[in-house]
């Protein structure tokens, strides 16, 4: 039997890379910096030292580089993503930036040469879209020599869910066009991290400017599905509450 994470039915980006069309615009500085990118550079700034190598797992079109180079204009940035269209775009978009490197690769099957190669590895807004947690989280941790920074949905209880881009189902009743929007418990995440090593784990609050998020929601709500809205400092997409948290792992 083929494991679920090797199947392609959940990889909506391979079917239609425009479900994340904003990543192309952000890479070209045609959209404002993401709120999470602003917080990422605050976290990175506290631990960064010159010549550190930074890996972005699930980099999409590489737009986080535009934020990270504020920390160091010569920052050594590496991006990896499983969607070919994103990597092709990133390589072309940042072709003049000699300190950027982009690779086509899957978090479930990362190249062995990535193990313990990077000083800082981060992954933002990806884990919620994966069908499982344990293997990608372990692979994520193993790429870094010192720090891992993760942003995903975390709560007291695990809640597995799917967002459907269309109400189309196969003969078995399974959705055809969907993306996972999974929330995992603090307990489960800590358990998996501890199984890799006795590392320091910090959960950090997600901070954002509501006006900026809602301004983009108004612009893209009718163009792109599952765009995030905020009300009373709570983020949501449709009926789904997004309880974003940051996890900082120090080895």
Q: Residue 137's pLDDT is what?
A: 98
Residue 170 placed within a domain: no
Task: Determine the Cα–Cα distance for residues 240 and 185; give it in Å rounded to an integer.
Answer: 16
Residue 169 placed within a domain: no
Residue 168 placed within a domain: no
Residue 129 placed within a domain: yes
In which domain, by residue range, is 50 found?
Answer: 4-162+181-208+242-250
Closest CA to 83 of 151, 7, 15: 15
Q: Residue 42's pLDDT is what?
A: 97
Residue 231 placed within a domain: no
Task: Determine the Cα–Cα distance for residues 10 and 5; give it in Å rounded to an integer.
Answer: 8
Q: Residue 116's pLDDT is what?
A: 96
Residue 52 placed within a domain: yes
Q: What CATH code is carried by the domain that includes residue 10?
A: 3.40.50.150
- Provide the residue-wise pLDDT of the chain in tens; the chain has 251 residues: 334 444 557 787 777 666 677 899 999 999 999 999 999 999 999 999 999 999 999 999 999 999 999 999 999 999 999 999 999 999 999 999 999 999 999 999 999 999 999 999 999 999 999 999 999 999 999 999 999 999 999 999 999 999 998 899 989 998 988 999 999 999 999 999 999 999 999 999 999 999 999 888 888 777 676 788 898 888 988 889 999 999 999 99
Q: Residue 20's pLDDT is what?
A: 77
Query: Taking a C-beta distance cutoff of 8 angstroms, is the pair 80, 108 a contact?
Result: no
Residue-by-residue DSSP string for 164-228: ESSS-B-TTS-BSSEEE--BEEHHHHHHHHHHH---EEEEEE----HHHHHHHHHHHTTTSTT--
| Domain total of the chain | 1
Residue 135 placed within a domain: yes
Closest CA to 235 of 181, 184, 165, 186: 181
Task: Determine the Cα–Cα distance for residues 111 and 234; give it in Å rounded to an integer.
Answer: 37
Residue 76 placed within a domain: yes
Q: Residue 136's pLDDT is what?
A: 97
CB atoms within 10 A of CB 162: 14
């Amino acid at each position: 039997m083929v494991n679920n994470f090797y199947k392609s039915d959940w990889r909506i980006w391979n079917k239609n890379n425009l479900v994340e069309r904003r990543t192309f615009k952000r890479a070209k500085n045609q959209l404002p910096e993401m709120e999470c990118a602003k917080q990422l550079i605050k976290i990175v700034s506290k631990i960064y030292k010159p010549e550190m190598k930074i890996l972005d797992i699930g980099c999409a079109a590489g737009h986080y580089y535009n934020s990270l180079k504020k920390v160091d204009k010569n920052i050594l940035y590496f991006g990896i993503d499983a969607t070919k269209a994103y990597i092709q775009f990133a390589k072309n978009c940042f072709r003049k930036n000699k300190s950027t490197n982009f690779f086509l690769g899957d978090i479930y099957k990362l190249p062995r040469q990535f193990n313990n190669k990077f000083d800082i590895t981060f992954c933002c807004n990806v884990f919620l879209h994966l069908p499982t947690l344990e293997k990608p989280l372990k692979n994520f941790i193993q790429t870094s020599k010192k720090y891992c920074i993760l942003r995903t949905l975390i709560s007291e209880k695990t809640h597995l869910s799917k967002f459907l881009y269309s109400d189309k189902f196969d003969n078995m009743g399974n959705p055809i066009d969907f993306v996972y929007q999974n929330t995992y418990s603090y307990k489960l995440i800590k358990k998996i991290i501890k199984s890799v090593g006795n590392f320091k784990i910090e959960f950090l609050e997600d901070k954002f400017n509501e006006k900026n998020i809602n301004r983009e929601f108004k612009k893209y709500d009718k163009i792109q599905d599952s765009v995030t809205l905020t009300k009373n400092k709570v983020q949501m997409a449709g009926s789904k509450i997004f309880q974003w948290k940051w996890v900082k792992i120090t080895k």
